[in-house]
A and B are shown apart, each in its own frame.
Chain A
Amino acid sequence: MEKKVAVVNGGAGGIGRAVVRRLGEAGYALFILDKNEQAGGETLEELRQQGYQADYHVVELTNAAEIKTLFAAIQREAGRIDLLVNLAGGTLHKHPVQEFPLAEWIEVLNVNLKATFLCCQAVCKLMRERKAGVIINTSSNFGITGGAGRTAYAASKAAVIAFTKSLALEMAPHGVRVNAIAPGLTATARVMGGYDKAEWQRRARQIPMGRAAHPSDIAEGVAFLASDDAGYTTGQTLHVNGGMIFN
């Protein structure tokens, strides 16, 4: 394949769709992984209508064997993987800690943290051999600030940052960059659905820039980290949050 190849895990979600659109525009051939088949199909259709080269695979991101097989298949088909963007995840469960069932706590960790580890692991050998590649993981403002009821989500998102720094150290000698993006409050259907309208507007107004992030704001950050403009940047976390938190 002549084109650069990007694998975007969670590529059909609220932020994911903006990211794949932006990466299509940047000239990448796209492999979208998402567990939501309907959203995956819609995203694929939209990208193809725009004339972008795109493919979609449904995947259960906590199944290590499935991930391994899928990435091997993509590698065979595309011959290269230049960019991995790990966007899949979410808060999933919110409970006070004393009521948080262990199984749900671990599920949050698996979706946000372990899946990131497994997908990175699946591409790092290939990227190391090609002496090129970029990995972008997703953290969150909650990984820095914590959130009441979000002990699991905050732990997983803080952990993604340290995981990213560690992998950056391991991959730096091989020409592979690994960074994280940390969106703040972002206007996706899923996030907005968690608030009534007045509460959403109040929260958005509290942000220094006076609005929540649009998914395209996050996509621009991803595109920057993926590009050669960020060629000397590794192990960093890019906060795209309108000044909501500083780190």
Chain B
Amino acid sequence: MKMGRLENRVAIVTGAGQGIGRAIALGMAREGASIFIADINAANAATVKQEITAQGGRAGALCSDISEEQSVRAMVDVALKEFQRIDILVNNAGMFPTSPVEEMQEEEWDRVIGTNLVGTFLCSKAVVPHLLAQRSGRIISLTSGRAFQGAKNGAHYAASKAGIIGFSKSLALELAPHGITVNVLCPGITDTSQPRGHQTEEQIYSQGQRIPLGRIGQPEDLVGPTIFLASDAARFITGQTILANGGGIMW
């Protein structure tokens, strides 16, 4: 059997219970990585764990809230207990409610920043000591085209996703001397539950017409770039944002 590109690696994937996170978890498992699924929805996390096990992979799962420091610590502790090490963190979990700024409640602002941006900080902070100790590791965080273009009625989401890029560049500088890379992955509009909160099916799919590659993204489109960034092949790439969006934004 062909060796996977992530053989003997352990990866934590947040928000891996559905959508892009699930696809990344399944894809990295196929490359030989042990996957720790952290999701706020315990049932979804358990289902994905089962899917990975069913395809012959190794997986653990825990109901986690990345906006809570205690929950993040528990996530790392349980992952370490189960797999003895952590090599890769994929910061994928996030949320996208909508309100115009004028009516936006402070509580909603805090919740979106607290999950998407502060959650990415907390998960990164929690794994960094382990990556430093082994002088290797990968952190990959998901941003959005909204970080570049803004989001009408999603100012908090756009701010949080741009914040992830600024954060990641800084962390890349901090960790570069230790052989640890930090990169950002940017999907375009993707066929998941996320856009379905505020767009009709027709609106979602019709956007494929203005994407150079002629279709909206599928969760699987993010798997290859993630595996690449997580693998030895990308050892000299850090602080970068990789866009996998059919050319929807060229930045």
Contacts and interface: CB of A to CB of B under 8 A. Distances in A.
A188 B167 CA distance: 25
A71 interface: no
Given A98-B129, A146-B239, A156-B166, A166 B150 contact: yes
Interface residues of B, number: 46
A170 interface: yes
Given A158-B165, A161-B162, A169 B152 contact: yes
A114 B109 contact: yes
Contacts of A168: 150
B128 A98 contact: yes
B113 interface: yes
Contact of A147 (B69, B109, B165, B170): B170
Contact of A146 (B128, B147, B154, B169): B169
Interface stretch (B3-11, B44-52, B119-127, B191-199): B119-127
Interface stretch (A10-18, A19-27, A99-107, A218-226): A99-107
Interface string B159-171: 1111111111111
A143 B173 CA distance: 13
Contact of A159 (B100, B101, B162): B162
Given A124-B102, A151-B170, A97 B159 contact: no
A109 B170 CA distance: 15
Interface in A137-157: 142-152, 154-157
A154 B100 CA distance: 25
B150 A151 contact: no
Given A149-B174, A151-B170, A162 B161 contact: yes
A167 B124 contact: no
Given A96-B174, A98-B128, A146-B172, A167 B166 contact: no
B222 interface: no
Main secondary structure of the interface of B (DSSP, over half): helix
A181 B121 CA distance: 26
Interface in A117-134: 117-118, 120-121, 124-125, 128
Residue picked from B100, B132, B155, most chain A C-beta under 10 Å? B155
Nearest to A164: B150
Nearest to A168: B150
Contact of A142 (B122, B147, B166): B166
A165 interface: yes
Given A105-B121, A155-B121, A166 B155 contact: yes
A167 B101 contact: yes
B102 A125 contact: yes
Contacts of A97: 121, 124-125, 128, 170-171, 174
A113 B156 CA distance: 10
B125 A100 contact: yes
B125 to A, nearest CB: 5
Nearest to B117: A155
Contacts of A113: 113, 159, 163
Contact of A121 (B102, B128, B167, B170): B102
Nearest to A64: B106
A52 interface: no
Interface in B137-151: 146-151
Interface in A198-225: none
Contacts of A154: 166-167, 169-170
Contacts of A159: 117, 159-160, 162-163, 166
Contacts of A64: 106
A165 B118 CA distance: 21
Contact of A143 (B102, B125, B161, B166): B166
Contacts of B173: 146-148
Contacts of B109: 114, 117
7 contacts: A106-B118, A117-B101, A120-B101, A128-B102, A154-B169, A155-B166, A158-B162
Interface of B: 69, 100-102, 104, 106, 109, 113, 117-118, 121-122, 124-125, 128-129, 132, 146-156, 158-174, 239
